[in-house]
Amino acid sequence: MRFQITEEMKKRIFVNSCSLIIPLLLFMFFNQFEQIKDFVNTIFVICFPFVFGVAIAFLLYNPQNWLEKKLFENSKFSASKKRLLSTLLTFLIVLVILALLCATIIPSIIDSILTFAQNISDYTENFTHYAYTIANSLNISTQDIQLWTENLRIVETLTDTVTSTLPKLATYSYGFVRGIINFILAVVSGFYILLDREKLIRVIKKLNYSIFNLDTAKGLNFWIIDVKTVFEQYIVGNIIDSTIIGITCYIGTLILQIPYAPMIGLIVGVTNLIPVFGPFLGAIPVIVILLLINPISALIFAIFILILQQIDGNVIKPIVLGDKLGMSGFWILFSVTIGGGLFGVLGMFLGVPVFALFYSALREYSNLRLKSKHLEI
Are the CB atoms for 95 and 114 separated by under 8 Å? no
Contact 87, 64 (CB under 8 A): yes
User: What radius of gyration, in Å, describes the C-alpha atoms of the chain?
Assistant: 26
pLDDT digit string (tens) for 45-89? 788 888 888 888 888 888 888 888 887 777 777 888 888 888 899
What was the pLDDT predicted at 53? 86
Whole-number pLDDT of residue 44: 72
pLDDT at 20: 61
- For residues 354 and 339, the answer to whether their CB atoms sit within 8 Å is yes
Whether the CB-CB separation of 125 and 94 falls below 8 Å is answered with no
Q: Which of 41-45, 281-285, 312-316, 361-365 has the highest mean pLDDT?
A: 281-285
Please work out, in degrees rounded to the nearest 5, the angle formed at the alpha carbon of residue 73 by the alpha carbons of 71 and 76: 105
Helix segments in the chain, DSSP class H: 7-31, 34-72, 79-103, 105-118, 120-137, 142-152, 154-165, 169-195, 197-211, 214-231, 237-255, 261-271, 278-293, 295-311, 317-320, 329-372
What is the residue-wise DSSP string for 286-341? HHHHHHHH-HHHHHHHHHHHHHHHHHIIIIIHHHHTTT-S---HHHHHHHHHHHHH
Name the nearest CA neighbour of 22 among 323, 326, 227, 225. 227
CA dist 308 and 256 (Å) reads 13
Percentage above 70 pLDDT, the chain: 70
Q: Which of 24-38, 291-305, 307-321, 351-365 has the lowest mean pLDDT?
A: 24-38
pTM for the model stands at: 0.66
Taking only the tens place, the pLDDT of each residue in 256-278 is 998 888 888 888 888 888 877 77
The CA-CA-CA angle for residues 159, 155, 295, to 5°, reads 145
Short-list 230, 205, 177, 194, CA closest to 56: 194
Find the distance separating the first CA and the last CA of the chain, reported in whole Å.
20
pLDDT of residue 228: 76
Q: How confident is the model at residue 1 (pLDDT cuts 50, 70, 90)?
A: very low
pLDDT for res 300: 92
- Decide: 119 and 263 in contact? Cβ < 8 Å: no
Q: 275 and 330 in contact (C-beta within 8 Å)?
A: no
From 91-95, 283-287, 357-361, the region with the lowest mean pLDDT: 357-361
